[in-house]
Amino acid sequence: MRRGQQSLPTIRRVEADVEKINTSGILPPGVHIERIYDRSDLINLTTHTVLFNLVFGMILVFFVQWIFLGDLRSAIIVSSTIPFALFFAIGILVLRGESANLLSVGAIDFGLIVDASVIMVENIFRHLAEGAPLNGAAATPAPFGLRGKLATIFRAAAEVNRAIFFSAAIIIVGFIPLFTLSGVEGHIFSPMAKTYAYALAGALLATFTVVPALCAFLLHDRVRETETIIVGILRRIYTPLVEFAVAHEFWHLLQPAYYWPSR
């Protein structure tokens, strides 16, 4: 197999040639070619591992979102970002002639993929639950004559779109050093960095387009925020700790004395 070529098509052609040699009578009587090792077994096992990780990851993210958000439809909207981002990344890989393997697709962190959509859905859900735009958003006119729920979704999305974009851009910029690697380390980490960047770009595109559209279709005009059992437990642990820290002013121990006015 030439360097950079695809493994499975090469293996299939080798198998066809071996079968042709064994049945054509070219070899002496009683002599034939037998397979000792076939790389396709490793490829099939790796493909199965990647597919299992992808499916299990999507299911796990869905249930985690459902448990913490407390709303089934919101969890569905957030989880829909994952297949969109993966199809987007794999589509670019196919167009560029690159392979989707265990080092690229199998290393994707679904938590990073859904971060932007979680922020978007949470803000839209909050605006719909409160029934009115916040922070002066009422002065922001909705385009195309949007009213009611659609106008609320537009204002909620516009409120966080800049923060979402720059947060995703910072993550992508963090992968830039990996693109400069060469040699063995370049072959190992460059596919992962490229696939990460493609998936994050796809997730960002879905967050700005697909997620608000799904919110308009799936969420009710008037939703109600509910605190799940897990969030309630975490809040009961977190709130006393914050109150204790604020009351005792631990922060001044970490700052130079001249930052604090004399009492």
Summarised one tens digit per residue, pLDDT across range 206-249 is 889 888 888 888 887 777 777 778 888 888 898 888 888 777 76
pTM over 0.95: no
Band (258; pLDDT cuts 50, 70, 90): very low
| Closest alpha carbon to 104 in 2, 9, 189, 181 | 189
Helix, strand, or coil here: 89?
Answer: helix
Tens digits of residue pLDDT in 54-83: 788 788 888 888 888 778 888 888 888 888
Residue 107: name the closest of 208, 222, 197 by CA: 197
Task: Point out the least confidently predicted range of 86-95, 107-116, 133-142, 214-223.
Answer: 133-142
Where is average pLDDT lowest: 162-171, 191-200, 206-215? 191-200
| pLDDT tens digits, one per residue of 121-166 | 888 888 888 775 444 444 456 666 666 778 888 888 888 888 888 8
Q: Is 151 exposed, middle or buried (0-12, 13-18, 19+ CB in 10 A)?
A: buried
